[in-house]
């Protein structure tokens, strides 16, 4: 449709008005077709309006002219010719009709123009904008008027959006469930798209150039766009907390000072510092309430606790009310059980079985069964093969071969009693009558020993809670690994001058700090695995039957051949020569024998840590008997005893109602949901204590014991918020170019040194101080006295007799888990 066609359609009223009349002073003639039909008139009414009645039409003396019949185009041409003769343009007529000063005379024509939502006006404007010249003129005319229209529309949208982003009228209404599920897309972008499209469109235009929209494939400004919208909502109303609340927690956890948070609050990116503290306290109260509900569910729960020691700055003004340099407390975590079994939580059957349980027998209860031994051996040889294809490029093709994969199978007794009371009576608000279910508790060995001491001194108290009988104690696997590594380090440390000793190999790896009295746990574990892998690579060189591993790879060995050689390596290089001193006083080659014992012990470390990471407790359970012997042989009697208590419960006390399976299901869990990142309950406890300490220390003068309590209770929610905000803002933990550290050069360095020093080969008359064969030594001690002592102490516990604490020959654990204080 042409522009002229649109102009003339104003007078047609959707084909109901095909002619019109002109006033006498406008022309010397009158066009007559029929009177205009009123848009608002009732067509059934016989009475036309006065304005449309023929008697009310202007009387002229001009001749009457009828437009001849024909097409619409021919009619328009005739009218245009008449207008030219009258020296008028169609636009003159439009302006005259639209002029309000013309009164009601042309009211019906104006009504016809506006009806049906004004589509005629819209069509007219669309037609005008088809011409570039008209578009420029129209843009100049509409710009100042459009600004007001757009601003009013954006103001209305922002008012509605601000209300939508204020679902929590105050920060105290922000619940843990909301914060755990918070994301910028769900909580800001979604409402903004539906409620404030004009605001979104305007900011999108401001943030992006036309070229950028076409060329940028990775860069997106959506995060900035919706953050700006949320800022505007926060500044419009303090009640709009859906964005500023989570952001406040993010800034606070990231170490922002009070001054920085006040500055962020002034631009809508945060709440003020004091409001953030109120929010943390509110979250702590919510979490305690949730814990009260969880602890009362029929499915039961798991609880563990550990000491937390907080060191304040030494540069604190000395005053009477000043806090101590070191403050100590207890940190507790309550877990929802995985695969819960309400019937298994009944306490009475467990106590009855504990009373009637038989003693442990070394051969039947401690020694691994044939099935467990075969399962453990298959994991060991799979690890030996893994070393080959991990560090030698020619064997990469075997990495995914199915035949070569792993297959899953409080410081005092009174203090411990006070912790029991604080957790369940003070915080969770239980009554003694309610505490009749078993509670699984997984802690480190020291805490479990105190729990058993509490059971003995309260053996004849009034109820199961006061007798500490509700606690069913599991072993903390992280602390088991920690103490196992400490024991192996103590046995194999040696001296740097002794070939093959750990101190010597630490020098080879240029990790001499591990020879210090306080080595770092994580660095030590990594170094021990590098040493094990290097020694196994050298063993492959010796057993493969070829001059080099490259030549062996070129022979294209079958997976079955690799497994057979792995068995040979385990027998020849990872099995100590277990001979009695009477028949054979000393091995012929002390260096070779020490290397065998080192590889044997490190294989257990590798298997336990890998099984935990894989989330396979069955593999750990297969090794518990052998681990008890190794701890006993290394001089750690207390950890040996802890494993025996755990095995006794698994095999004799917890069987029957499914509590043993419930324990197995909850020994290891995955907090992140990432494959290969499983951990034990006590490891999760250490992580949380580390987070709490960091947040407490970061607050400086604002850190106090009450605030620490709030942080502790809400740490799970605070961690979730920080993660959610980081994901929403695309703030990755590691850079996009981040790669895993390649330590293969260190492994090959050990392998080359092992070849140079013949560590895996027998050489006559090489003498050195022999290391203890902790496996055979522990086996001998368990058979001779340890099992009998354990059975006696267990029976005495049931009678309320506190056993005498055993003195470890192994020095107290002194591995560093945290970075040193500055």
DSSP 657: T
Nearest-angstrom CA–CA distance, 231 and 162: 10
Examine the pLDDT at 538 and tell me if it is beyond 90: yes
Res. 140 pLDDT band, cuts 50 70 90: confident
Q: Rounded to 5 degrees, what are φ and ψ at 622?
A: -60, -25
CA atoms within 13 A on the CB side of 79: 26
pLDDT: is 51 or 662 the higher one?
Answer: 662
Question: Strand pairing partners for 441?
Answer: 303, 473
Residue 214 region by backbone torsions, left for phi larger than 0, else alpha for psi between -120 and 50, else beta? alpha
Examine the pLDDT at 60 and tell me if it is beyond 80: no
Nearest-angstrom CA–CA distance, 370 and 335: 35
pLDDT value at residue 46: 46
Nearest-angstrom CA–CA distance, 541 and 755: 9
Query: Cα 767 from chain centroid?
Result: 53
Residue corresponding to tokens 């001054």: 259
pLDDT value at residue 330: 83
Q: Rounded to 5 degrees, what are φ and ψ at 440?
A: -75, 130
Q: What's the CA angle centered on 513, arms 511 and 518, to 5 degrees?
A: 140
Examine the pLDDT at 431 and tell me if it is beyond 70: yes
Examine the pLDDT at 526 and tell me if it is beyond 90: yes
Average pLDDT, stretch 61-69?
Answer: 65
Nearest-angstrom CA–CA distance, 750 and 539: 12
Examine the pLDDT at 347 and tell me if it is beyond 80: yes
- Chain length of the chain: 822
Query: Cα 337 from chain centroid?
Result: 19
Element (H, E) at 64: strand 64-65
pLDDT value at residue 736: 52
Question: Strand pairing partners for 306?
Answer: 331
- Alpha helices in 558-704, H assignment, sequence order: 559-573, 590-614, 617-634, 637-648, 659-666, 681-698
pLDDT value at residue 565: 94
Q: Spell out a b/e string for 443-472, using b for 16 or more CB atoms within 10 Å of the CB, else e.
A: bbbbbbbbbbbbbbbbbeeeebbbbbbbbb
pLDDT, tens digit, for every residue of 736-745?
555 667 889 9
> Do residues 230 and 268 touch, judged by C-beta distance below 8 A?
yes
Q: Rounded to 5 degrees, what are φ and ψ at 408?
A: -65, 130
Residue 228, classified by CB atoms within 10 Å of its CB into exposed (0-12), middle (13-18) or buried (19+), is: middle
Q: What percent of the chain has pLDDT over 70?
A: 83
pLDDT, tens digit, for every residue of 623-657?
999 999 999 999 999 999 999 999 999 999 998 88
pLDDT: is 122 or 582 the higher one?
Answer: 122
> Do residues 524 and 816 touch, judged by C-beta distance below 8 A?
no
pLDDT value at residue 610: 93
Examine the pLDDT at 754 and tell me if it is beyond 80: yes
Q: Rounded to 5 degrees, what are φ and ψ at 572?
A: -80, -30
Range with top average pLDDT, 369-383, 400-414, 589-603, 707-721 = 589-603
Torsion of CA 281, 282, 285, 287, to 10 degrees: -100
Strands 668-669 and 679-680: antiparallel
Average pLDDT, stretch 758-780?
Answer: 92
Q: Rounded to 5 degrees, what are φ and ψ at 668?
A: -130, 140
Residue corresponding to tokens 């609050």: 265
Average pLDDT, stretch 428-440?
Answer: 90
> Do residues 631 and 806 touch, judged by C-beta distance below 8 A?
no
Q: And the tokens for 225?
A: 């766009």
pLDDT, tens digit, for every residue of 259-289?
999 999 999 999 999 999 899 889 989 999 9
Nearest-angstrom CA–CA distance, 516 and 519: 6
Query: Cα 516 from chain centroid?
Result: 35
Examine the pLDDT at 198 and tell me if it is beyond 90: yes
Average pLDDT, stretch 351-355?
Answer: 91
pLDDT, tens digit, for every residue of 24-38?
333 333 333 333 443
pLDDT value at residue 705: 54
- Please enumerate in sequence order all residues whose Cβ is within 8 A of that of 137, keeping only pairs 6 or more positions apart, or say none: none
pLDDT value at residue 667: 92
pLDDT value at residue 404: 56
- Please enumerate in sequence order all residues whose Cβ is within 8 A of that of 523, keeping only pairs 6 or more positions apart, or say none: 511, 513, 514
Res. 49 pLDDT band, cuts 50 70 90: very low
pTM: 0.76
pLDDT value at residue 449: 86
Quote the mean pLDDT of the chain. 82
Q: How far is CA 795 from CA 356, 362, 367, 463, 803, in A?
A: 10, 17, 22, 20, 10
Nearest-angstrom CA–CA distance, 378 and 537: 18
Average pLDDT, stretch 712-719?
Answer: 83
Q: And the tokens for 174?
A: 């922000």
Res. 42 pLDDT band, cuts 50 70 90: very low
| Dihedral sign for Cα atoms in the order 779, 783, 784, 790 | positive
pLDDT, tens digit, for every residue of 142-191?
888 888 888 999 999 999 999 888 876 678 888 899 999 999 999 999 99
């Amino acid at each position: 449709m042409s522009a002229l066609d649109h102009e003339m359609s104003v007078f047609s009223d959707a084909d109901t008005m095909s002619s019109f009349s002109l006033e006498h002073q406008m022309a010397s003639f009158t066009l007559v077709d029929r009177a205009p039909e009123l848009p608002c008139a009732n067509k059934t009414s016989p009475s036309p309006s006065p304005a449309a009645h023929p008697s009310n039409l202007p009387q002229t003396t001009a001749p009457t002219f009828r437009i001849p019949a024909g097409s619409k185009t021919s009619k328009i041409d005739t009218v245009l010719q008449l207008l030219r003769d009258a020296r008028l343009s169609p636009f003159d007529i439009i302006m005259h009709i639209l002029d309000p000063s013309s009164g009601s005379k042309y009211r019906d024509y104006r009504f016809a123009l506006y009806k049906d939502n004004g589509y005629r006006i819209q069509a007219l404007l669309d037609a005008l904008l088809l011409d570039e010249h008209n578009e420029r003129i129209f843009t100049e005319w509409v710009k100042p008027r459009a600004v007001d229209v757009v601003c009013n529309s954006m103001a209305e949208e922002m008012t509605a959006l601000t209300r939508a982003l204020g679902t929590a009228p105050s920060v105290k209404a922000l619940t843990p469930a909301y914060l755990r599920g918070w994301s910028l897309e769900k909580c800001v972008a979604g409402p903004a798209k539906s409620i404030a499209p004009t605001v979104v469109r305007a900011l999108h235009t401001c943030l992006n150039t036309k070229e950028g929209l076409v060329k940028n494939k990775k860069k997106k400004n959506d995060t900035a766009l919706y953050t700006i919208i949320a800022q505007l909502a926060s500044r419009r109303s303090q009640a709009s907390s859906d964005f500023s609340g989570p952001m406040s927690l993010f800034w606070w956890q990231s170490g922002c000072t009070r001054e920085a948070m006040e500055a962020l609050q002034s631009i809508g990116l945060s709440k003020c510092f004091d409001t953030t503290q109120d929010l943390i306290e509110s979250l702590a109260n919510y979490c305690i309430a949730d814990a009260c509900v969880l602890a009362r569910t029929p499915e039961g729960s798991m609880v563990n606790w550990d000491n937390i020691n907080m060191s304040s700055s030494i540069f604190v003004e000395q005053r009477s009310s000043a806090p101590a340099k070191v403050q100590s407390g207890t940190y507790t975590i309550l877990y929802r059980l995985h695969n819960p079994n309400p019937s298994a939580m009944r306490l009475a059957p467990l106590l009855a079985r504990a009373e009637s349980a038989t003693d442990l027998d070394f051969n039947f209860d401690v020694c691994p069964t044939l099935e467990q031994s075969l399962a453990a051996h298959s994991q060991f040889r799979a690890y030996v093969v893994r070393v080959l294809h991990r560090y030698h490029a020619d064997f990469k093709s075997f990495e995914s071969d199915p035949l070569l994969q792993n297959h899953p199978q409080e410081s005092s007794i009174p203090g411990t009693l006070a912790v029991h009371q604080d957790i369940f009576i003070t915080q969770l608000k239980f009554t003694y009558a309610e505490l009749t279910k078993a509670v699984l508790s997984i802690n480190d060995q020291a805490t479990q020993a105190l729990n058993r001491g509490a059971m003995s001194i309260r053996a004849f108290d009034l109820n199961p809670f006061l007798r500490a009988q509700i606690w069913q104690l599991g072993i903390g696997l992280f602390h088991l690994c920690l103490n196992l590594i400490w024991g192996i380090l103590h046995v194999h440390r040696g001296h740097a001058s002794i070939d093959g000793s750990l101190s010597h190999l630490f020098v080879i790896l240029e990790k001499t700090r591990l020879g210090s009295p306080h080595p770092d746990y994580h660095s030590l574990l990594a170094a021990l695995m590098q040493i094990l892998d290097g020694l196994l690579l050298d063993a492959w060189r010796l057993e493969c039957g070829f001059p080099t591993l490259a030549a062996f790879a070129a022979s294209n060995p079958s997976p079955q051949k690799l497994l057979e050689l792995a068995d040979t390596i385990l027998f020849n290089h990872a099995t100590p020569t277990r001979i009695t001193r009477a028949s054979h006083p000393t091995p012929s080659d002390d260096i070779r024998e020490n290397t065998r014992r080192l590889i044997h012990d490190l294989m257990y470390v590798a298997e336990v840590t890998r099984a935990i990471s894989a989330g396979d407790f069955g593999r750990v359970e297969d090794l518990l008997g052998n681990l008890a012997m190794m701890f006993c042989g290394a001089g750690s009697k207390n950890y040996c005893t802890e494993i025996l208590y755990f095995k006794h419960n698994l095999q004799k006390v917890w069987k029957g109602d499914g509590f043993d399976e419930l324990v197995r299901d909850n020994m290891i869990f995955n907090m992140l949901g990432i494959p290969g990142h499983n951990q034990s309950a006590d490891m999760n406890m250490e992580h949380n204590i580390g987070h709490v300490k960091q947040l407490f220390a970061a607050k400086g003068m604002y850190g106090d014991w009450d605030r620490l309590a709030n942080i502790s209770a809400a740490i799970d929610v605070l961690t979730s918020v920080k993660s959610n905000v980081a994901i929403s803002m695309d703030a990755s933990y590691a850079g996009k170019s981040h790669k895993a550290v390649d330590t293969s050069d260190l492994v090959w360095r050990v392998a080359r040194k092992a070849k140079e020093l013949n560590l895996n080969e027998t050489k006559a008359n090489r003498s050195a101080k022999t290391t203890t064969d902790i496996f055979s030594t522990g086996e001998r001690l368990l058979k001779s006295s340890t099992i009998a002592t354990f059975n006696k102490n267990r029976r005495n516990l049931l009678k309320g007799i506190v056993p005498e604490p055993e003195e470890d020959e192994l020095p107290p654990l002194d591995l560093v888990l945290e970075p040193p204080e500055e």
